Amino acid sequence: MAAPTPTTDIAVLGALSVEPMSGYELRNAIQDVLGHFWSESFGQIYPALNRLREQGLVDARPGERASSSVFEITAQGRARLSELLSSPIRDRPPRNGLMLRLFFGRHLGVDQCMALLDETEATARSQLAHLRATHAEVEREDLPDAPYFLITIDLGIRTSEATLEWVDAARERLRRLDTMTSPLEQH
Amino acid sequence: MAAPTPTTDIAVLGALSVEPMSGYELRNAIQDVLGHFWSESFGQIYPALNRLREQGLVDARPGERASSSVFEITAQGRARLSELLSSPIRDRPPRNGLMLRLFFGRHLGVDQCMALLDETEATARSQLAHLRATHAEVEREDLPDAPYFLITIDLGIRTSEATLEWVDAARERLRRLDTMTSPLEQH
DNA sequence: CCGGCCATGTAATGTGTTACATGATTTA
DNA sequence: TAAATCATGTAACACATTACATGGCCGG
């Protein structure tokens, strides 16, 4: 009967430890703020919220709208959060579809690989812009959580920057490959 | 009846496009070579191999041992691989347990966060060593796939290096936090 | 008054891991 | 000959997403 490690509970309790909110807002908050390293769907959030309420880890009080509830973390919930945060990290094995395609890129061709790099660059750039904006916002607000928020944002920024540098290097490598094989002899 | 995008098939056909091997070897190869961005379990590999054989995408011939088969990609299999490589990338949303814990690190305490950073550093260092070794090995062997292999290894190396720099910066931030709150007043 | 967002929830589906079961072969 | 590794496979389970279903509320 080993307790499963419900990582969803960490995200939910953690978000509610910052500020009480509805399930809907919870999902948006997770998407906006934790989006670069975490994600939760409604299909996870609502059942989790009900379960946590039954366990006394969150309280539900009626929201401004008739159909909405505002969920608030309880003292027990905070204790549980600390406990969950200390639990061993069960990382799912990595699965990076982009890398898989580039690794076998010889069967895909230089042009399509270049297109994948373009996509990657665009994604990294927009992510970087979003992270820098969030970074500035967190520094402005001066919350008690701020140093921890900034640490995670910082990794996102560094990773995005490294990705952009890598894209350039990868393009260069593909270009060299192209000029070496293409003008002389195909295949 | 939209065809699912069996990413396992890409990994299996891709690996077999480099070299024929048994299911067991396949798993080891994926773990060793693609390990920093991909993973497959036996529970995926063996059913996939049988399915691919029924579809004529791989051939099975008896291996050296009585109980083993060597799987070889067919011409159809190569065509299918090219097709699959062009299919849209369906990335699973990210879920980084380390980041989740650091983000809510205020409830975890500076010491435990430091311990998480230590773990991260150790992992990144060993990964970096492994990647550099693989990089050197690939350059030595001079395969036709080499440029593509090197591109993916390069991202791994850059990401690991960025992670190590981030660990230092994060420690610095936690230290500043510690000396600011601890000697003056707790909480 | 209609489109879009806020809000909650469930069922179906897919995907992938883990544990189990079995046995051959090599190595110490 | 015992332990480790090679080798294949299945069943149970866990986890999460997607799609669906429903309805209130607000702005143009």
Q: Looking at residues A89-118, what average pLDDT do you find?
A: 96
Nucleotides of D under 7 A from a protein CB: 6-12, 14-20, 23-26
Q: Looking at residues A19-38, what average pLDDT do you find?
A: 97
Pairing of the two strands B58-62 and B69-73: antiparallel
C-alpha dist (Å) from residue A139 to A32, A93, A135, B59: 17, 33, 6, 59
Cβ-count burial A36-64 (b if 16+ within 10 Å, e if not): bbbbbeeebbeebbeebbeeebbbbeebe
The CATH topology of domain B6-86 is: Arc Repressor Mutant, subunit A (1.10.10)
pLDDT band at A5 (very low <50, low <70, confident <90, very high): low
Interchain pair A36, B98: CB under 8 A: no
Does residue B65 or residue A10 have the better pLDDT? A10
C-alpha dist (Å) from residue B4 to A103, A117, B90: 21, 24, 10
User: Would the pLDDT of A3 be above 60?
Assistant: no
Q: Distance in angstroms, CA of A44 to C1' of D17?
A: 9
pLDDT band at A2 (very low <50, low <70, confident <90, very high): very low
Each residue of A42-57: pLDDT tens digit? 999 999 999 999 999 9
Interchain pair B151, A95: CB under 8 A: no
CB within 8 Å of chain B, chain A residues 87-106: 89-106
- pTM of the full predicted structure? 0.93
Interchain pair B94, A173: CB under 8 A: no
Write out residues in chain B with pLDDT < 70, as ranges.
1-5, 181-187
pLDDT at B179: 81
Domain spans of chain A, in order of start: 6-86, 97-175
Tell me the residue type at B134.
T
C-alpha dist (Å) from residue B160 to A99, A166, B114, B126: 15, 12, 18, 9
Q: Does B45 touch chain A (CB under 8 A)?
A: no
Each residue of A67-81: pLDDT tens digit? 899 999 999 999 999
Q: Looking at residues A145-157, what average pLDDT do you find?
A: 98
pLDDT at B180: 73
pLDDT band at A31 (very low <50, low <70, confident <90, very high): very high
Tell me the residue type at B146.
A
